[in-house]
Chain A
Amino acid sequence: MISVVRRTGAVSLVVFAATGRACMLLMQMLYSIPSAIRRYGLLIEQLYRVGVLTLPIIIVAALFVGMVLALQGYNTLVDFGAESSLGLLVALSLTRELGPVLAGLLFAGRAGAALTAEIGLMKATEQLAGMEMMAVDPVWRILLPRFLAGVLSVPLLAVLFTAVGIFGGYILGVDVLGVDQGVFWSAMQQGVDFQQDVMNGLLKSLVFGVLISLIAVFMGYDASPTPAGVSTATTLTVVLSSLVVLVMDFCLTSMMFQ
């Protein structure tokens, strides 16, 4: 019993200490934002690597998620003669929940893991130490552009996920299942509220972007400089980011859609 308490205490200390270091890193990065704006080329390069290269997986996933939503929604709605609400169901599901959450999870798996591995390897091969000795701050030069690129990319990817998902739902609902095109769009137009649904979805994805990007860069920067350390950090990034996205989604949803 005592050993369980002791172990829980030890784990809690490690978690709190890591959270503290992550918060300090976040403050350090926020403090450096003005000087990062002057070197916007670094940010654009990372926006390409982190955001643009994530597009294929987002587009393909969104298309299929939209089609599955339409298929499942139609099969349920048609029993009640409510298939005219298919467009609304697909749009609300995607803007409120699936767009931000799935874009966040896919981003964590593709870009988050890559960021952690890259930064962790740079640490293990003394590249970050080398930069420090050349009077170049690695937090400013390496971590910040990647963090900002992640923060900006996730909302954009979530919007794109939602749009492509709706398009997927449209293809299946209208072209395959025969729902009227006008009814599909007008139900969506009437039922989706810009402030309540679209903006809240966007806000969620922004929060996810900040959290995933912070976890990714922190895990890489804080990794033990060994092969096992980098691999553990990469795994932790995906696991923690996914959990944080799902938990935060519940918290934000319960605040936004009471």
Chain B
Amino acid sequence: MKPEPENIVTLTDIYLQRAGKPVLTGLSLAVPRNSVTAVIGPSGVGKTTLLELIGGRLSPDKGYLLVDGLSVPDLGRRELFALRKKLGMLFQSGALLNDLDVYENIAFPLREHTALPEPVLRQLVLMKLELVGLRGARRLKPAELSGGMTRRVALARAIVMDPVMVMYDEPFTGLDPISKAIIVKLIKQLNTILGMTSIVVTHDVHEAMQIADFVYMLGQGKVLACGTPDEIKNSGREDVSQFLQGQADGPVPFHYPADDYFADLLDGSSNNDDASKTGGTV
């Protein structure tokens, strides 16, 4: 995929191994500016790894990775941190700082990177809190927030520096339908209001299709299908249909790879299953 100025992220032929296992095997994709791009696919397919690569927390073994015109693997620490100031990231857990209340969590990046006077900082924080509908919860501690509220506070923190791009790691996982709808609305709304780019990594197909301008489906370490939500739905590929329709068995097998079942049952030795050897204590 060619690095074009209208693409904020370009990955070309990316290979990556983790713990000796190949995670990405020739992944190529591009994220257009000012769009909502969804990256979908089954769990463990390398979606979060993709975000870690874009954010410079991991380096690919092979391939080219450009973010906002910069080759991320070649950046020094200072340049990488300068790039990260322009990016926002919403973690699945929220990753809020437990010792700080909601207000201070959102003010945190501003306090670290700017010398804004307190009244200006307060206004910025309140504006972001108002955007996510939690201005009234500013003095609550993270432990007092529900899952949906935690995600919204983390979202407010991710956009407080007015980033050019926000990456969402499983933003809908574990949320009730109302909270899910709120997050869907916020992602779409913020993308339009703030004129930024959004990358949504998720396995919630319905929500992804609702907000995405462009969808990539990953599988076996590479892109299986890409296009608009309608193009993906009508792709006709078996593995894509299995995922979209939530079928238990298909090209993505039900069983984790293992030795022959009967041979395994008849094998008298229990050495391989010894819990003490595999670290299985709770």
Contacts and interface: CB of A to CB of B under 8 A. Distances in A.
Interface of A: 122, 125-127, 129-130, 132-137, 141
Among B85, B87, B112, chain A packs the most CB atoms within 10 A around the CB of B112
Contacts of A134: 84, 108-109, 112, 157, 161
A136 B57 contact: no
A133 B93 contact: no
A132 B98 CA distance: 16
B219 interface: no
Contact of B97 (A127, A132, A133): A127
List the 6 closest pairs (A to B, CB-CB), nearest first. A130-B95, A135-B84, A126-B95, A133-B89, A135-B81, A135-B85
Interface of B: 55, 57, 81-82, 84-85, 87, 89, 91, 93, 95-98, 108-109, 112-113, 157, 161
A135 B91 contact: no
Contact of A136 (B55, B82, B87, B112): B112
Contacts of A136: 108-109, 112-113
Given A135-B84, A135-B85, 7 more contacts: A127-B96, A129-B57, A130-B89, A130-B96, A133-B87, A136-B109, A136-B112
B84 A126 contact: no
A137 B87 CA distance: 15
Contacts of A125: 93, 95, 98
A126 B109 contact: no
Contacts of B161: 134
B95 A127 contact: yes
B117 to A, nearest CB: 17
A76 B101 CA distance: 59
B110 to A, nearest CB: 10
A125 B150 CA distance: 13
Contacts of B85: 135
Contacts of B55: 133
Among B89, B95, B161, chain A packs the most CB atoms within 10 A around the CB of B95
A161 B26 CA distance: 62
Among A126, A134, A137, chain B packs the most CB atoms within 10 A around the CB of A134
B98 A127 contact: yes
A133 B84 contact: yes
Nearest to A126: B95
A137 B81 contact: yes
A129 B95 contact: yes
A126 B91 contact: yes
A220 to B, nearest CB: 15
Contacts of B93: 125-126
A135 B57 contact: no
A130 B109 CA distance: 11
B6 to A, nearest CB: 25
Contacts of A133: 55, 57, 84, 87, 89, 91
A134 B160 CA distance: 10
A134 B161 CA distance: 9
A141 B99 CA distance: 14
